[in-house]
Amino acid sequence: MEKTLNKDIDETLQGTPTMVKTETYAGKKLYLESYGCQMNFSDSEIVASILTKNGYQTTNELNEADVVLLNTCAIRDKAEQTVRNRLKHIQSNKKNNPNLVVGVLGCMAERLKSQLLEEEKLVDLIAGPDAYRTLPDLISDIDDGRKAVNVLLSREETYADIAPVRLDQNGISAFISIMRGCDNMCSFCVVPFTRGRERSRDPKTIIEEAKSLLDQGYKEVTLLGQNVDSYRWNITKKGEIINKDEEPVSFARLMEMVALVSPDLRIRFSTSHPKDLTEDVAQVMAKYENICNYIHLPVQSGNSEILDKMNRGYTRDWYLNRMEMIRSIVPDVGMSTDVIAGFCDETEEQHQETLSLMEIVKYDFAYMFKYSERPKTLAERKFEDNVPEEVKKRRLQEIIDLQMKHSLESNQKDLGKTFKVLVEGESKKSQDQLFGRNSQNKVIVFPKEKYKKGEYVNVEVLNCTAATLIGKAINYA
């Protein structure tokens, strides 16, 4: 995915059809669309794997599908509206093909459960994030005339043994899911309800997946989890080793193990949580050239009282201290964040503290949102969603404007510098231009010349916008 600029964030919630070549042999055709975060995109690859093993073929043509599955997001109300609109559009296909199976997967399925069947009359199937192994059975239930629902959450499911069918188009950069669920209870967040308890995946299967991706020509993997810093294998939360004959694996150790698969394989990770981020993670980043110098560390607010209400487990000072720790160990680190504007009771002064924190950190990039109240969350039960819509909107705009300024300044600082760039493909705007990313996760566009997708190239930065660096290749890196 090419990075979109901050204010376009809601566009990243648009569904991206899976562009998989349609085979012509007989069998049911599956059309999959993913919304929301990288975890969902990664889960769709598990779903594609489970269903293709059962004889389905993926297609990128909605019109020829026998089964349409939308892997949905529930993080903000707007994300759910996008899916409802899409379901309405799909209804017209159902008129042409009465046997069409329409299913809702993912977080919205988990949040609304069978209620969705009543609300969206043409949905036949509901499956939550831990129920994908049962999809073939659920679909055959429908063929037998029943509506199919499985929203059971699991404490163990990690899909560790399932080799995902890669649905990305570039063949260069892939996701590896290392854990599922979330045990934090941020008061605004629906994820603990939609994805269940946190569990880590066996590191051996993670390394095998990284090796297999490398063999297939991939050059970059992103280790995914809602809170990667609490990844833990063979060791309890209290630090007791479970099996003495095996090595305990922390997130820092896991990153090191993946980094050692090959110096040619780049490693990224998402998402870190400030309260769990430890120094050894920064040290491993500094030690291995192929672990990218980039960290996404969501702050949410720059005011300690709001952070407390959000139940984030850190204060403004603690967060700033973590940022300093990372910069002291990895001096050229790229940094990005998530910010929520207009959380319950947020005053003008508290909002100003978010802006002032941004001034101190000067993020390279940020995802910025208006607070959207989510049913059943702690905030919904305890606090009033009392910041008026226009105020939320104005505060968000101030945050976006400041971030745009910082993004531009950050890019301007890179003028004249040369970066090692992994080429991800042709630029969307021109076939004569390639695009890739540097270690800090900045997108760089440069003339194609002799260079190709998948190569590491040294690129000198000659120009920039707030969103993109523009340069010229110097040689192979």
Q: Identify the DSSP state of 190.
A: -
Pick between residue 40 and residue 177 the one whose CB is nearest to ligand F3S. 40
Buried b (16+ CB within 10 A) or exposed e, 413-443: ebeeebbbbbbbbbbeeeeeebbbbbbbbbb
Contact 66, 24 (CB under 8 A): no
Choose which of 167, 191, 339, 469 interacts with ligand F3S (CB under 6 A): 191
Among 6, 29, 36, 330, binds ligand F3S (CB under 6 A): 36
Cα dihedral angle (445, 447, 450, 453), rounded to 10 degrees? 20
Residues 69-88 close enough to bind ligand SAH by CB under 6 A: 75-76
3-state class of 320 per DSSP? Answer: helix
Binding of ligand F3S at residue 73 (CB under 6 A)?
yes
Residue 371 binds what, of ligand F3S, ligand SAH, ligand SF4, none (CB under 5 to 8 Å, by partner type)? ligand SAH
By CB under 6 A, residue 330 contacts ligand F3S? no
Please tell me whether residue 226 binds ligand SAH under the rule CB under 6 A. yes
Is residue 298 within the footprint of ligand SAH (CB under 6 A)?
A: yes
Site string for ligand F3S, 148-187 (x = CB under 6 A): ----------------------------------------
- Residue (339 or 421) nearer to ligand F3S, CB: 339
Nearest to 76 by CA among 372, 429, 476: 372
Q: Are strands 469-476 and 443-447 parallel, antiparallel or unpaired?
A: parallel
Within positions 363 to 382, which residues make up the interface with ligand SAH, using CB under 6 A?
A: 369, 371-372, 374
Beta strands 125-127; 148-150: pairing state: parallel
Contacts with ligand SF4, residue ranges (CB under 6 A): 182, 184, 186, 189, 191-192, 226-227, 273
Q: Are 293 and 333 in contact (CB under 8 A)?
A: yes
Return the number of the residue (36 or 103) whose C-beta is nearest ligand SAH.
Answer: 36
**What Cα–Cα distance (Å) separates residue 448 from each residue in 30, 220, 411, 475?**
36, 20, 21, 12
Pick the stretch among 69-77, 138-146, 274-282, 323-331 that binds ligand F3S (CB under 6 A): 69-77
C-beta atoms surrounding 381 within 10 Å: 9
Q: Which of 30, 32, 37, 259 binds ligand F3S (CB under 6 A)?
A: 37
Q: What are phi and psi of 392, to 5 degrees?
A: -55, -45
Per CB under 6 A, 70 contacts ligand F3S:
no
Do 155 and 70 form a contact (C-beta atoms < 8 A)? Answer: no
Rounded Cα distance, 185 and 334, in Å = 27
Would you count residue 300 as binding ligand SAH (CB under 6 A)?
yes
Compare residues 54 and 184 and give the one whose CB is closer to ligand F3S. Answer: 184
Residue 351 binds: one of ligand SF4, ligand SAH, ligand F3S, none (C-beta under 5 to 8 A by kind): none
| Residue 52 preceded by cis peptide, ω within 30 | no
Name the residues that contact ligand SAH, by CB under 6 A.
75-76, 188-189, 191, 226-227, 271, 273, 298, 300, 338, 340, 369, 371-372, 374
Name the residues that contact ligand F3S, by CB under 6 A.
36-37, 39-40, 73-75, 106-107, 190-191, 194-195
